[in-house]
Amino acid sequence: MNSLTNMWCWFGDACQFQEECNLPSKKSKELCKNPQGVVCSNRGICHCGSCMCDNEDNKGLVTGRFCECDDSECLDEDTGEVCGGHGQCYCGNCYCVAGWHGDKCEFQCDISPWESKRRCTSPDGKICSNRGTCVCGECNCYDVDPSGDWGDIHGETCECDERNCHATYDRYTDDFCSGHGQCNCGRCDCREGWAGKKCEHPLSCSLSLESSVKKCRGTSNLPCFGRGQCQCGQCTCHPPGDSRVHGKNCECDDRQCEDISGEVCGGHGYCSCGRCICEEGWFGKLCQFARSCDMSDAQSKELCETSDGVVCSGKGSCHCGQCICSPQDWWVSGEYCECDDRDCDKHDGLICTGNGLCNCGNCECWDGWTGNACEIWVGAEY
């Protein structure tokens, strides 16, 4: 009898929602926030830590854990069919069956899939050089910068990547090849008097290119820690005028002491060469944890539990009602250690290019930066 009673305590298309909820409303709301911090992406209501997505006309077009997917984007405007009847919709994007293409699978291809693949194969054997998608035998190269002034991928099989002509520091300008050469299909042809893959080294320098780079690296794999321009063994830190990036090799980045709102060391410490020195009674990378608090272990544990009753998603420990994620697994983050920062985009081998913070798998860029990996400088020219 009890099992029958429990059976009716759930509802929803897949019986995924529990009628009775023991979660505090604040905790429930937090579990419903998408990576941008919006509850159910403003397309549903939050119930016991789960999103109930809007369902107009019972079509079920709004889906996803946080109602982040709008499958109405897949509907053919004329027929109302999903992906024109020639594909399937996943989170607002159409995936067409063989022989059809287009945003809504509205165009039919007149060549075989094998011929299409052959035409799109680049000299290195990759489809569109892994920088685009193959549509009916033609490569649609990825648009890495919609503004059109930072870098371009082009060529019949997307084999040319102009981003390769940008030195690390050149992200701050529109110049290719350090302003001392011309970019041809992703390779720099240097003007007289300049050398290096990015034409970054003046031949008038008494140091060789290798010696100059080595002097600028210090303890990093990148010249000037990827935060400045190396010329003749000397680093000029960027962006210009930002005193938070400093040091002989630009090794100090005091932006690392700030949270996404710009607060330094949580207001409980000071920054020293990119690391927080916490006041007495506080600890953590951003001095965000108090060493003691007025709550019982049971109260603390309750605040650290996810909707399924697991403390800190099994990836951390609970202290004063806050999750401290495992320091051994640097990529684990989030209020409940539920996030994987390895999902954040990289550029030049740096997460968020060192120009933003990884927030639950998405890059939150500092002022002056944009792009999936915060790799595009849109601030003032210098």
- Between vectors from CA 165 to CA 226 and to CA 347, what angle results, nearest 5°? 40
Q: What is the pLDDT of residue 362?
A: 86
Query: Whole-model pTM?
Result: 0.57
- pLDDT band at residue 145 using 50, 70 and 90 as cut-offs: low
Looking at per-residue pLDDT, the higher value among 376 and 263 belongs to 263
Say if residue 113 is preceded by a cis peptide, omega within 30 of 0: no
Mean pLDDT of the chain: 84
Name the CA radius of gyration of the chain, rounded. Answer: 26
- pLDDT band at residue 300 using 50, 70 and 90 as cut-offs: very high
pLDDT in tens, 253-264: 999 899 878 899
Give me the half-sphere count of Cα atoms (radius 13 Å) on the Cβ side of residue 145.
20
Query: Looking at residues 140-165, what average pLDDT do you find?
Result: 76
- pLDDT band at residue 367 using 50, 70 and 90 as cut-offs: confident
Q: What is the pLDDT of residue 4?
A: 45
Query: Looking at residues 273-287, what average pLDDT do you find?
Result: 94
Q: What are phi and psi of 277, to 5 degrees?
A: -105, 110
Report which of 40, 41, 36 is spatially closest to residue 28, judged by C-alpha positions. 40
Looking at per-residue pLDDT, the higher value among 8 and 44 belongs to 44
Q: What is the CATH number of domain 10-70?
A: 2.10.25.10
* pLDDT score of 247 more than 90: yes
Q: What six digits make up the tokens of 189?
A: 């042809």
